[in-house]
Structure 1
Amino acid sequence: MSAPIGVEVEGLDIAANPTESDYQFLRDALHEHSVLILRDQDITPQQQCDFAAHFGDLRTSFYNRYGVQDVPALSIVSNIRRDDGEHIGIADAGMLWHTDGSYLASPDMYTVLYGIQIPVRDNTVLGDTVFSSSWAAYSALPSELKQRLDGMRAVHSFSAHIEKKQAKGQLKRAPLSAQQRDALPDVEHPVVRRHPVNGRKCLFVTEGHTSRIVGMDDAEGTELLKFLTEHVKKPDFHYRHHWRKGDLIIWDNCAVQHLAVFDYGDIPRRLHRAGIAGSVPV
């Protein structure tokens, strides 16, 4: 791709049982290029799970009310409504820049997203996903700032994420139960984490889930956090994906942040998501 991240992998049919050497090829490509695109796939929910499991342990979402029937490791991302008016899936996923599961002690390492219904208006595909390279963003920082960030930690909060969405009028999902809130306490992570496979240093603060810098007063911490989260959103670091039905995308949550583009209104959109658990960031 004409971007610092993203490659399209051709000639691999996921439904035809890829070999272990195929999976090793994909893992190596993923760690090098951060985002993999496999077009024209025709797979069942179970085949998506089986594919994702080759990258690590699948993590069932705490939003299990939006799980695929009989395949709870897959979550539905969709704006489609049931007869009772509730969405069949998470309708507001990705409205703020984020990396999946950063609000957990061990965030998601990879995400596998499969396009089933893709919105189109006047022959134009809508609902793009934009990825930004967190390692390219870190590399572009001045050396003095890199030294300043060394050893800093930040708080990631799902509660703060929900509050941000409410403030912007973006919240469309069912509310969390008290039990779900209690199961998601705030966590601290390094502001700069090192990739566990290739060793790249990656910015690990996001617009969506990072609430504050540990040990800094509110004004100074807010200023630094705003600078970093705006920096990682610069187009120089982007790959923008234009979806097609049958697209299967795998991305590395240590290496990228992403944003969903909500430009399709009520035109039906449905994707299935698998999350793969990672390690504690260092």
Structure 2
Amino acid sequence: MSSLRSFDGPRIKARYEPGQPYETIRLDRMTPVIGAEISGVDLAAPTNRQMDEIHRALAEHLVIFFRDQRMTQDQHLEFGRRFGELHLHPAAPHEPGHPELMVIKADENSKRANGEGWHSDVSCDEEPPMGSILYIKECPPAGGDTLFASMYAAHDALSDRMKAYLDGLVAEHSGEHVYRGMYANEGVGDKPRYPRAEHPVLRTHPVTGRRALYVNRGFTTRILGIPRDESDAILGYLYEHMENPLFQCRFRWQPNSVAFWDNRCAQHRAMWDYWPHRRYGNRVTVKGERPV
């Protein structure tokens, strides 16, 4: 793994080397390639040194988890802002008076649950989110796990010939098929234009410098500049490849747990296997940059 670059987020201007011990938090890796559970920190009032190490843990492990947290809505928002400006979701419901605080809820009345398929959050934006911070306050007695997959590992496992083929290709990401009807359902009227963007199939992470696959079933519609049947075949192969369990970790939710994932190098999928039970929480999303 290459050395990590400097972090430029709020209050964080330091250089880290991967593999160094943590001094202010405890960290247990979930798999060799992705995921770590962190303890010894109160996300409602982390110290600056703990924030430094949380930044590093996210860069090194792609998704990090916290148990037994107690945050108010304002504290959840403040924790997110310590990583950057917050992102406004184009369609999801939010808490009254807090447009940056998404409501994540499914129960016996839901026809679907958020995030059922593999995806990277809102990759249809021209500047997709850097990271998402999900705080689940109520969860079913069993089920409702979230799976995460490393797009570094998916990239690295490709053959050199496939990497060479994909290098320089650009894919279209669209939100229309995902969000159509959701605007009207939220009472704000349907919109004639939906988010759409073009991103490289292989992107370089701005902090670690590592390359990652950046197409997903949720939003990617086609690879540009090649015939449609070729695009469909290549995307189908990549989707099956990146969903290999060897690239994954799985998080079992408990009340008052937090998951923080890096959308630039990880995808996730929420399991909706708990009907008719209820799952409820809030998500804060941090703005990102244009993929390169």
TM-score where L is the length of structure 2: 0.84
Question: Who is 1:95 aligned against?
Answer: 116
**1:1-282 equivalences in 2 (<5 Å):** 1-15=30-44, 17-63=45-91, 66-80=93-107, 92-120=113-141, 125-161=142-178, 174=185, 180-182=191-193, 184-282=194-292
What is the one-letter code of the residue matched to 1:152? L
**Equivalent residue pairs, number:** 262
Task: Specify the SS of the correspondent of 1:180.
Answer: coil
Q: Aligned in 2, Cα 1:25/1:222: closer, same or farther, shift over 3 Å?
A: same
Deviation at 1:3, TM superposition (A): 4.2
Structure 1 runs not aligned, ≥5 long: none
Gaps in structure 2 of 5+ consecutive residues: 1-29
Check 1:162–1:67 CA distance in 2 against 1; reply closer, same or farther (3 A cut): closer
Cα separation, 1, equivalents of 2:188 and 2:172: 22
CA distance in 2, matches of 1:105, 1:45: 28
Measure the CA separation in 2 of the matches of 1:114 and 1:73: 14
Would you say the 8 A contact 2:91–2:179 is kept in 1?
A: no
- Between Structure 1 and Structure 2, the one with more helix by share is 1
CA distance in 1, matches of 2:153, 2:94: 34
TM-score normalised per structure 1: 0.87
Q: Give the residue type in structure 1 aligned to 2:147.
A: V
| Structure 2 counterpart SS, 1:59 | coil
The one of the two structures with greater contact order (alpha-carbon pairs below 8 A, sep at least 6) is 1
- Per-residue CA deviation, residues 59-99 of structure 1 (Å, 9 max, x unaligned), is 122236x1112322110110247xxx7x6xx9531011100
C-alpha RMSD of matched pairs (Å): 2.1
How far is the alpha carbon of 1:28 from its aligned partner? 0.8
Change in Cα spacing, 1:179 to 1:148, as seen in structure 2 (3 Å) is same
3-state SS, counterpart of residue 123 of structure 2: coil
Q: Is 2:122–2:219's contact at 8 Å kept on the other side of the alignment?
A: no
